[in-house]
Amino acid sequence: MAEATNNGTSNEVVKETRQEKAGIESTLNAIVAHPIRVAAFVVLNERVASPNEIAAETGLNLRLVAYHVRQLEKFNVIELVETRQVRGATEHFYRSTVRPYADDEDWADLSPEQRDSLTRYTLQLIFANVHQALEAETFDSHLQRWLLRVPLALDDQGYEEMSKLETERYERALEIESNCVERLAPLSVEERNEATIPTLSVTMVFPTPRRKKSTP
């Protein structure tokens, strides 16, 4: 993903606005329209935060972060949950309302550049999460942790079946989380935090390069 500069101006905001498509049809398109928007959404997908907090956490320009947060709200992928007076100014706090999941139709609507940007950014997040877990020694702290690498040789039908399997796995993961939320609902915030295991579930299914034939 291209690095975003920290010296944005109002002219840049106007230019970006003109470049955006008039009618963004899918949630994923709304998210990947700009790398700053992706960065903001990732934060808001994990916790409640304000544009000021996102800018401080990511090192991005606050003016541009605030603009792209407003765009995410416009496309109904985040929502305003609270306002606070901070040092004489009103600070707005948001959270995501949807998860950045794309079905085959959504993915097909993206340009190759958008797909590449989203893939690279997601992988960067995964690698960062793994690094943090290894450094904090939490990666192997639970006996039921999973880490699998399974090379497969599939035809077109087999690949489609694997894709369907991972879709079902994704939906089941959300169901499991929803059940946890219901079980923990009667607890206080502190008790929920104590009873919750911060968990990252990662799934990858992708074609790998063919092996080069060895010359005789």
Residue type (1 letter), 143:
L
- Long-range contacts for 53-59 (Cβ within 8 Å, ≥24 apart)? 59/6
Mean pLDDT, residues 53-68 taken together? 93
Are residues 106 and 155 located together in one domain of the fold? no
Listed in sequence order, the residues at least 6 apart from 41 whose beta carbon sits closer than 8 Å to its beta carbon are: 31, 72, 77, 78, 96, 100
CATH code of the domain in which 21 resides: 1.10.10.10
| Residue-range definition of the domain harbouring residue 166 | 148-203
Residue 50: inside a domain, yes or no? yes
Q: What is the pLDDT of residues 73-130, one digit of tens each?
A: 988 888 999 999 888 889 999 988 866 666 777 788 888 888 887 787 677 667 867 8
pLDDT of 80: 94
Q: In angstroms, rounded to a whole number, what is the distance separating the alpha carbons of residues 61 and 41?
A: 15
Are residues 126 and 172 located together in one domain of the fold? no
Residue 209: inside a domain, yes or no? no
Are residues 64 and 170 located together in one domain of the fold? no
Q: In angstroms, rounded to a whole number, what is the distance separating the alpha carbons of residues 155 and 159?
A: 6
Domains identified in the chain, total number: 2
DSSP 3-state of 131: helix
Q: Which residue has the higher pLDDT, 213 or 160?
A: 160
Count other C-beta atoms under 10 Å from residue 11's C-beta.
8
Q: How confident is the model at residue 65 (pLDDT cuts 50, 70, 90)?
A: very high
Are residues 101 and 38 located together in one domain of the fold? yes
